[in-house]
Amino acid sequence: MALDVRVATSMAEAAGILAADQRTRLLSGGTLVMRDVNEGRFLDGTLLRLTDPAYRQINASGARVELGAGATMAMVLANRDLAFLHPVARAVGGPAIRQMATIGGNLFAETPYGDFAVALLALDAQVMVQSGYGSARAIAIEEFLNARERGGAGLVTAVQFAKPQNAADFRFRKISRVKPKGISVMSIAAHLPNSGSRITQARVAYGAMAPTPVRARGVERALEGKPLDAASVQAAKAAALEGTRPATDAIATEWYRREVMPVHLGRLLAGEGR
Amino acid sequence: MAKSPVQFRLNGSDRATFVDPGDNLLTTLRRGLNEFGPKYGCGQGACGVCTVLIDGEPHLSCLTLAVACEGRHVETVSGMADGPNLHPLQTAFMDNFAAQCGFCTPGMLMAARALLERNPNPTREDVIEAIAGNICRCTGYEPIIAAILAAAGNRSQRQA
Ligand SMILES: Cc1cc2nc3c(=O)[nH]c(=O)nc-3n(C[C@H](O)[C@H](O)[C@H](O)COP(=O)(O)OP(=O)(O)OC[C@H]3O[C@@H](n4cnc5c(N)ncnc54)[C@H](O)[C@@H]3O)c2cc1C
Ligand code: FES
Ligand code: FES
């Protein structure tokens, strides 16, 4: 047996091929799949290329944003309507990786990767998944990430979310040891819409603090209905570790991640530098 | 598994070869087309030494499927000089002692070239950002940054 390459020209065709054959993997940007090919971890199966232009389409001019799963980090950076997401896209690898890495691939990237997925979690995104030849259905990103390890999700065609009404309501920070490029010690995204200077519908998400990006529910509760002041930031820091399960890996120990998360969360919420 | 044909432009010339379906562009260039400009470092996307331009944008050739390059323009360090005349970046690398063993140099030059084509007047931070995906074990990066800034300066002086 050997590796085979197939090309699908439509998303329905790609979804059909993925559903019919468990040994087929979609090659989106290829930054992770090709590593497996080069290192002999994926020797026997089919690499599926998808050439449908809709897969790479970005629609960001209105209140609701749709990013095709095949859109790259570089495409996000080139789009002015997505300025609030530029710090997130810029945090992914170096320029060549950003030219190749896609949003769809980032949803499947294992910890400590997945920085863009962390931002999408804080934006309450819907993941459009097409299984087989039917039409795509929307799955809440948290549910999608929880189910990810079970595999067989089908084809992710796009992600959708409401654009933050105020760009300053969205914050993102990636903490890494090597600047400007380096793998995440952790990443934090927060969407803190406010009405009458009180936060409503707070969403805070972490990367590299659990096997997949996770919501920081304790922090969200601490901020909900409060003004973003010293007291609420303090309460958020106290609740920072609720629900986290960080790992020890080559980048940082579990202990270190727990120690520094409240500090970085506090700085992000207080709008301080690093 | 049968080999597949692939055709693309390489440094301005049409080239064709046969590849195994899972072959990456780096292997195809080095083994199939005797184009040894891009180097093989890690095969994982981590070192940047295999960086080429595809349709003008930097890509890692070790992570690019060769058959996906059909009809595209691949540029390597071998195409930078204009006959005997070195590209200003190449001259600046020599003048600023920006290479020691030289292993990272082809990737660095391609990353720098992509930057200057997009941004002819980069700041020091822009340069650092542009080469962030490229590892150099010898120079400590400072001479490389100085060389790229010098090439940018010379370019803008020539245009003025
Ligand atoms: C040197 C290097 C540095 C990196 N730095 C970062 C970083 O800083 N931050 C970060 O988050 N990531 C980083 N990454 C990881 C990776 O590049 C990104 O996460 C990227 O977004 C993955 O996208 P891709 O399109 O290249 O994925 P691919 O390799 O194409 O795919 C990854 C997996 O997802 C599956 N898949 C992809 N798209 C879909 C889809 N639409 N539907 C169903 N399945 C799909 C593939 O089949 C495969 O199993 C880095 C990688 C490298 C090699
Ligand atoms: S060989 Fe391609 S990035 Fe190292
Ligand atoms: S000059 Fe030796 S690796 Fe850069």
* SS3 labels along B76-123: CHHHCCECCECCHHHHHHHHCCCCCCCCCHHHHHHHHHHHHHHCCCCC
Q: How far apart are the first and last CA of chain B?
A: 56
Q: Where does ligand 2 bind, in terms of residues with CB under 6 Å?
A: B 40-43, 45-50, 60, 62
Q: What is the pLDDT of residue A149?
A: 73
pLDDT per residue as tens digits for the range A126-139: 999 999 877 889 99
Mean pLDDT score, A21-25: 92
With CB atoms and an 8 Å threshold, state whether A95 touches B58: yes
pLDDT at residue B158 is higher than 70: no
Mean pLDDT score, B116-131: 97
Mean pLDDT score, B61-89: 97
Q: What is the pLDDT of residue A59?
A: 98
Looking at residue B83, its amino acid is G
Contact criterion met (CB below 8 Å) for A21 and A13: no
Mutate to test the interface with A, among B19, B63, B67 (most CBs of A within 10 A): B63
Mean pLDDT score, A60-89: 98
Measure A120 CA to ligand 2 centroid, in angstroms.
29
pLDDT at residue A150 is higher than 70: no
Assessment of whether the complete model's pTM goes beyond 0.90: yes
- A110 DSSP 8-state letter: P
Report d(CA A123, CA A119) in Å as an integer: 6
Q: What is the mean pLDDT of chain A?
A: 95
Within 10 Å of residue B120's Cβ, how many Cβ atoms? 12
Sheet holding A58-59, edge to edge: A58-59, A64-68, A155-162, A126-130, A137-140
Report d(CA A158, CA B79) in Å as an integer: 38
Mean pLDDT score, B74-86: 96
**Which has the closest alpha carbon to A168: A66, A226, A84?**
A84
pLDDT per residue as tens digits for the range A200-259: 999 999 999 999 999 999 999 999 999 999 999 999 999 999 999 999 999 999 999 999
Q: What is the sign of the dihedral through the CA atoms of A197, A198, A202 and A207?
A: positive
Q: Where does ligand 3 bind, in terms of residues with CB under 6 Å?
A: B 99-104, 136-139
Residues 6+ apart with CB under 8 A from A28: A50, A69, A70, A102, A104, A105
Ligand closest in space to the Cα of B139: 3
